[in-house]
């Protein structure tokens, strides 16, 4: 079963190595020991959350705000978890816990497709897939931290890897009016916060601003649509 899953998921594993290594280097540059990098990356399994911790830690942001920011960015897992829940109807509580607790974005996409297709795939296969990807990510990040301690990688270039990753994740979102409004409002809000000297709370506050403006925009357009229909 493990070999069958590896054959399915090897391109994702390669991507994890390519992204995990620079992520580990950046984590190492924030002063994290290799054991810290391994512990954090094999439990978080979210490049954006890990990059965020590093960025905000280097910027001197207080711990409570870092945790709030990581929680805000990781709240998307609630969506993945919510959408995969109906497909785990036949699973035991322990299996549901195992699959949900180890969910990653890529594993979610693959598992959901397999579960929907009704292939020879169940909670056990989903869990093994998750563990394979978590192990790949954790080891890649740790190796990056170890190599990064020996090889001097310029911080600006290494940090731009995470900017590139965020750009990719941003442009992977569905192109809809609400998403565009949320993204533009969030970005503008960050700029306003930073120019006002509120850099510490710029990201979490701007996420809330972006969501609020997108919902308000929807309410206005939906209301106008209903009036037009009448």
> Where in 102-161 is the site for another protein (CB under 8 A)?
102-103, 156-157, 159-161
CA-to-CA separations, 78 to 55, 102, 114, in angstroms, rounded: 24, 13, 20
Burial class of residue 206, CB neighbours in 10 A (0-12, 13-18, 19+): buried
Length of the chain in terms of residues written: 230
User: Token pair of 225, please?
Assistant: 């649509």
- Closest contact distance (angstroms) between CB of 206 and another protein is 4
Restricted to residues 49-88, the positions that interact with another protein (CB under 8 A) are: 49, 52-53, 55, 57, 63, 66-67, 70-82, 84-86, 88
Interaction of residue 10 with another protein, rule CB under 8 A: no
Using CB under 8 A, which of 7, 93, 94, 230 touches another protein?
93
Using CB under 8 A, which of 1, 109, 124, 164 touches another protein?
164
Whether 133 and 109 have beta carbons less than 8 Å apart is answered as no
User: Token pair of 4, please?
Assistant: 């069958």
Using CB under 8 A, which of 31, 109, 223, 225 touches another protein?
31
Residues whose CB is less than 8 angstroms from the CB of residue 142 and which lie 6 or more positions away in sequence, other chains included: 24, 34, 37, 38, 41
Cβ proximity to another protein: between 128 and 207 the closer is: 207
Interaction of residue 38 with another protein, rule CB under 8 A: no
Cβ proximity to another protein: between 27 and 128 the closer is: 27
User: Token pair of 165, please?
Assistant: 């990753």
Using CB under 8 A, which of 2, 113, 116, 187 touches another protein?
187
- Closest contact distance (angstroms) between CB of 183 and another protein is 4
């Amino acid at each position: 079963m493990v070999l069958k899953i590896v054959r399915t998921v090897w391109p994702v594993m390669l991507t994890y190595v390519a992204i995990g290594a620079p992520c580990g280097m950046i984590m190492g540059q924030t002063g994290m020991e290799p054991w810290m990098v391994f512990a954090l990356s094999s439990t978080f399994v979210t490049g954006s959350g890990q990059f965020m911790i590093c960025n905000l830690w280097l910027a001197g942001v207080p711990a409570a705000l870092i945790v709030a920011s990581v929680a805000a960015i990781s709240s998307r897992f609630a969506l993945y978890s919510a959408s995969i829940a109906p497909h785990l109807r036949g699973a035991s509580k322990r299996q549901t816990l195992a699959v949900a607790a180890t969910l990653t974005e890529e594993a979610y996409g693959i598992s959901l497709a397999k579960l929907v297709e009704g292939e020879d795939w169940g909670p056990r296969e989903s869990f093994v897939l998750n563990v394979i990807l978590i192990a790949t990510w954790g080891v890649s990040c740790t190796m990056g931290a170890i190599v990064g301690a020996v090889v001097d990688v310029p911080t600006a270039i290494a940090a731009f890897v995470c900017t590139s990753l965020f750009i990719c994740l941003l442009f992977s979102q569905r192109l809809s009016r609400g998403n565009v409004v949320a993204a533009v409002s969030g970005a503008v809000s960050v700029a306003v916060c930073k120019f006002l000297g509120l850099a510490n709370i710029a990201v979490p506050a701007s996420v809330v601003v972006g969501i609020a403006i997108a919902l308000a925009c929807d309410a206005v357009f939906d209301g106008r649509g209903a009036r037009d229909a009448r």
